[in-house]
Structure 1
């Protein structure tokens, strides 16, 4: 019988206690009833989570790794219920952290992942190789005219992806529908000028989808009709189910960039929540994100090198769910760090720069060209 597995890190004083906690996870995340009243047959044999292994972590005393298998019938076909099985009630237990998911064929079939992925984004931008330059259009409070002007200047200078800041929602200063229409128009004008100049690449405009939960699909369709080439969504606010629904909607059919806002509490404790690679890598792939944004090490938010590497590995793993997706490190990055970042993350990456670009003002196009030069330089000549 095919079953997918989830690996957990369990804090426990003994092997017996670790085994008992693993058994509790298997119950809580599926049937949620005492073990002695689990009905025999289908419920016990298929639906109930099954503890496969429990072993000590070699490097940490009092820590254990448990592997629990689940049948896709416990999940059904909704992404929210997948999360409920992976770390539902178990998220309320102390000392339990979900570390990895190994999908089986049935889970892969129901949740096929990104519609475009890393290769699809290259086709859309026309950039056959090299890292993707991605300026962030901000700040909140700017007028529609100011934001559209930034979109034009960065796109015209050679940006691959022009991404709205996640703080641009539907505020009075720049209402969603007007802002998206004007910004899409600005990027389209820049792309037309690039094509006339003989360039083969183009900028993709990603609009931030932010509204009431029942409005997301309508807002995404408006963005597409206005000329947006992709969507930015915050799964920590709107749910991974919203990300999954938008990614699978054939009427939308746009790549999606997932933003990490509001997800910090899920990863910051080493003893609870999710491992960095699982949340920002594997789950984003399963839910259908094409690009996943996360805080780079050395920036404002304090992710470690190892945690960032874990995320990138999960994005690119050949045996991961669906297409490989693009990691996108950001969070207080600057031009002088691009060389270091390029050496660390390579070419299959979306490089974000936001606030630091605003120092250039009307000369922001020069910063975009500097980004491109830094990402295209021969490795031995890159500084930083």
Structure 2
């Protein structure tokens, strides 16, 4: 075993938060991760060439955590070639087998510039979406077509009212896909036509994001239909369709991509194991191409804390080499009376999503949407933003 055919010496870095039980040796645990996530053989069986070429993980740093007792922040680097320059294999390296262990939580991922094709980041980002909508100095408004079970005609009627009221983005509810009562192509065609008509009448530029959630061959047909139908955006859940499929949407289309957190929840049920929301819904979803990342806002139907929401939003918007910033989109049972609170916490570079509450406000959804837009504008005016 003399040489290994590597293409680079570059490495990427993963920060893990590891919580120790009494008597555990952090150096031993960290080294076990280095082996488990790469060569997966007993350490004394690893060929010397693998050590020489850095094929195993390498422990770069060990720092006590200031958040949880007995928790340590461990930085491990991996040879870039181990990723196969493929998102599924990258995830496998980050957390494949060790996801089956306990007390290991992914906190961050740092990658070299050479990963720009693998992890391209948002195509449009905050500024690009604002240019499309011609909205620059306030949060964007978004609402959802729901409930599942309505016909394509009924959903198109809702979309028309939302667009007339001034919604910036209308998305499918993530549970609306290709059911018999609102088949994908019929729904998308009718909804987009209704939005086009409302835009033409009111001068708005509302964008529709249908939900893409099917098996690969069917989803390809749906994407092709969207592109032929003038659709400008799409909603998809990376953990349902696969992060590899999501990044392919980013590479192969010009769609604005909204990422939905469905099926990601088990990563967050423990603050000792899995991944931080800031890493998965923030950092990683942004890297694989999300222009907008939806997450459950603190105080809604789900259990994220405000600190977690703030960290997630920061991960989406912070400067990062050539990766564009993405919009955070707090959601999950939000109500119009919380708009000012959300504005104070998240600022103008945010997408506010209010769904069912608009249906509670008025039978005329254009009126309810107008009230939503007015509340957002009032917040912006109060902080002297010029609309």
Distance 1:379 1:285, change over 3 A: closer
Secondary structure of the structure 2 residue equivalent to 1:377:
helix
Whole-Å separation in 2 of the counterparts to 1:91 and 1:288:
24
Q: Residue 255 of structure 1 corresponds to which residue in structure 2?
A: 256
Structure 1 match to 2:44: 36
2:141 aligned to which of 133, 151, 156: 133
* 1:25 lines up with 2:33 in the alignment: yes
1:304 has 2:305 as partner: yes
Which structure 1 residue ranges, 5 or more long, are not aligned? 196-200
Equivalent position of 2:216 in the other structure? 213
Note the C-alpha offset of 1:294: 0.3
Match of 2:344 in 1: 343
Q: How far has the Cα of 1:284 moved from its partner?
A: 0.4
- Residue in structure 2 matching 1:89, options 80, 97, 103: 97
Structure 2 gap segments, 5+ residues each: 1-8
Contact 1:4 1:107 in 2 (8 A): no
Q: Report the 3-state secondary structure (helix = DSSP H, G, I; strand = E; otherwise coil) of the residue aligned with 2:219.
A: helix
Instruction: Report the equivalent of 1:155.
Output: 163
Partners of 2:348 and 2:366 in 1: CA distance: 21
- CA shift, 1:379, in A, is 5.7
Aligned-residue offset at 1:279: 0.4
Provide Cα deviations, 1:33-82, integer angstroms capped at 9, x if missing partner. Answer: 12222222356523211011122223432211110011211102211011
**CA shift in 2, pair 1:43/1:207, >3 Å:** farther
Alignment-derived partner of residue 371 in structure 1: 372
Q: Aligned partners of 2:213 and 2:99: how far apart in 1?
A: 27
Q: TM-score, normalised by structure 1?
A: 0.93
Of residues 226-235 and 331-340 in structure 1, the stretch that sits farther from structure 2 once superposed is: 226-235
C-alpha distance in structure 1 between counterparts of 2:381 and 2:232, whole Å: 35
TM-score, structure 2 normalization? 0.93
TM-fit CA distance, 1:110: 2.9
- Partners of 2:355 and 2:255 in 1: CA distance: 23
Matching of residue 167 in structure 1 with residue 167 in structure 2: no
- The answer to whether structure 1 residue 241 and structure 2 residue 249 are counterparts is no
Match of 1:313 in 2: 314
Q: Secondary structure at the match of 2:338?
A: helix
CA deviations on 1:202-260 (whole Å, 9 max, x unpaired) are 100101112223322221111221222101101121111111111100xx321110111
SS at match of 1:371: helix
CA distance in structure 2 between the partners assigned to 1:129 and 1:381 by the alignment: 12
**1:361 offset after TM fit, Å?**
4.9
Residue 46 of structure 1 aligns with which residue?
54
Compare 209-218 and 181-190 and name the one that shifted more.
209-218
Partners of 2:135 and 2:193 lie apart in 1 by: 22
**RMSD across aligned positions (CA):** 1.8
> Are the counterparts in 1 of residues 87 and 243 from structure 2 also a CA contact under 8 Å?
yes
Please report how far the alpha carbon of residue 22 of structure 1 lies from its aligned counterpart in structure 2 after TM superposition. 0.9
Structure 1 distance, partners of 2:148, 2:312, is: 28
In the alignment, the residues of structure 2 paired with residue 17 and residue 321 of structure 1 have an alpha-carbon distance, to the nearest angstrom, of 39
Report the CA distance between 1:359 and its aligned residue: 2.1
Corresponding residue for residue 293 of structure 2:
292
CA distance in 1, matches of 2:140, 2:376: 8
C-alpha contact 1:282 1:321 (8 A) present in aligned 2: no
Tell me if the contact between 2:292 and 2:327 (Cα under 8 Å) persists in the aligned partners.
yes
Q: How many Å apart are 1:16 and its aligned residue?
A: 5.9
Deviation per residue, 1:135-159 (Å, 9 max, x gap) = 1111000111110011111112211
- 1:145 aligned to 2:148? no
CA contact 1:46–1:73 (8 Å) conserved in 2: no
Q: Take 2:19 and 2:245, find their aligned partners in 1: how far apart are those partners?
A: 32
Measured at CA, do residues 345 and 59 of structure 1 come closer, stay the same or move farther in structure 2, by a change above 3 Å? Answer: closer
Is the 8 Å Cα contact of residues 10 and 79 (structure 2) preserved in structure 1? yes
- The aligned residue for residue 6 of structure 2 is none
